[in-house]
Structure 1
Amino acid sequence: MKIIVLTGPESTGKSWLAQTLKDNVGGVLVDEYVREYFAALGRDTTYEDVTPIALRQLEREDMARQQRPALLILDTHLLSNILWSRFLFDACPDWLEPALLARHYDLHLLLDPREVPWSDDGQRCQPDVRDRLAFYEACKSWLDNHGQTSRCIGGNWANRQRLALQYVTELLEG
């Protein structure tokens, strides 16, 4: 089983690209739970919401891992929970980073916010590209500092799709 994670700032095409990969390469896709949580909440999230969101995301990931697909595509993982918690609340539950480091991921596709427009969907909060770049850099730094295999994906939508398909095909064939 190969496990890939799409990560990076909001409004960079992670969910679209995850579905595109599933449609073109196959595998099992685990969506980002926080979007459902936020939609059902009816209020802004608080620091107390970080743990239940992360636990449900892990539960969904674990259920998919049990299926043992050839390819598991994760629209997000705990890195997003860690960074959003730090960005929004200037704090993060202590258990998140060790829980993330205890898991194996074969490839992280890190999406760059440049060259794609920000889209307000009612849940997003970083319309300024500088904020999204700061989140991108925080993702890149964390992945690099923790020895995680990653590939940066940028450019227009067609380029993002081409690169993601290339990297995932190389992973599956390697």
Structure 2
Amino acid sequence: MSKPEIKKIAIVGPESTGKSTMSAYLAGHYHTVWVPEYARGYCEKLTEPPTWQDEINMFHGQIALENELLPQANQILICDTTFITVKIWSDEMFGKSPKEVLDELPKHPYDLYLLLNIDLPWQDDPLRDFPHMREHFMEVWYKELNDLNANYVLISGTGQDRYESAVAAIDGFLSDSPR
């Protein structure tokens, strides 16, 4: 009997929406692994703002990390963000995106995206830059997901309600998916 295809679930949204915390929770709930945000570790080592080459490096790093962890997944792979973030940040900081990112976006789909709403309070973090632009980036996320014709669910609420909404979205998706 062959191993069923792993479904990739992306946890996305603007800064300070609880993506990493949600990813860890969902991985525990579904007894699987989650792919951390590669850019976080990368940017922690930088002494200057990210360059164009840094954005390209983060794109490649995110894909490599995902590919490395995929074989360890149990039915689903939870991804704490995706390289769409590289496109969003490049567009914001440089006015355009690296060609390799644009070329790969339609070729690297996720089965379900959970778009985390900006209804959580802002948490300061040295790697977060735009507390005053959360609404803007929420609209950018909507546009990017719609441009990809992505299957996504908006996850709102706080505390356990937020987690339960995410689990309900994934359970609904899995029950509708062919095995």
TM over 0.5: yes
Q: Given residue 30 of structure 1, which amino acid in structure 2 is its aligned partner?
A: V
Aligned to 2:109: 104
Aligned to 1:78: 83
Aligned to 1:124: 128
Equivalent position SS for 1:41: coil
Q: Given residue 124 of structure 2, which amino acid in structure 1 is its aligned partner?
A: D
Aligned to 1:172: 174
**Is the counterpart of residue 12 in structure 1 residue 17 in structure 2?**
yes
Q: CA deviation at 1:155?
A: 2.2
Q: CA deviation at 1:68?
A: 5.5
Alignment RMSD, CA only? 1.4
TM-score (norm 1): 0.92
Q: Given residue 172 of structure 1, which amino acid in structure 2 is its aligned partner?
A: L
**Aligned equivalent of 2:143, options 136, 141, 144:** 141
Contact in 2 for aligned 1:26/1:71 (Cα 8 Å)? no
Q: CA deviation at 1:67?
A: 4.0
Contact in 2 for aligned 1:112/1:133 (Cα 8 Å)? no
Is 39-48 or 6-15 further displaced after alignment?
39-48
Equivalent position SS for 2:45: helix
User: Which structure 1 residue ranges, 5 or more long, are not aligned?
Assistant: none
CA distance in 2, matches of 1:68, 1:29: 8
User: Which structure 2 residue ranges, 5 or more long, are not aligned?
Assistant: 1-5
CA distance in 2, matches of 1:164, 1:89: 33
CA distance in 1, matches of 2:85, 2:57: 14
Aligned to 2:154: 152
Q: CA deviation at 1:124?
A: 0.2
Contact in 2 for aligned 1:4/1:73 (Cα 8 Å)? yes
Q: Given residue 122 of structure 2, which amino acid in structure 1 is its aligned partner?
A: W
Runs of 4 or more above 6 Å deviation: none
Is 132-141 or 5-14 further displaced after alignment?
132-141
What's the CA shift string for 1:47-70, capped at 9, x where partnerless? Answer: 221001110111011122344531
Aligned to 2:33: 28
Q: CA deviation at 1:42?
A: 2.3
Contact in 2 for aligned 1:29/1:75 (Cα 8 Å)? yes
Q: Given residue 119 of structure 1, which amino acid in structure 2 is its aligned partner?
A: Q
Equivalent position SS for 2:96: coil
CA distance in 2, matches of 1:98, 1:73: 23
CA distance in 2, matches of 1:173, 1:29: 21
CA distance in 2, matches of 1:78, 1:41: 19
TM-score (norm 2): 0.90
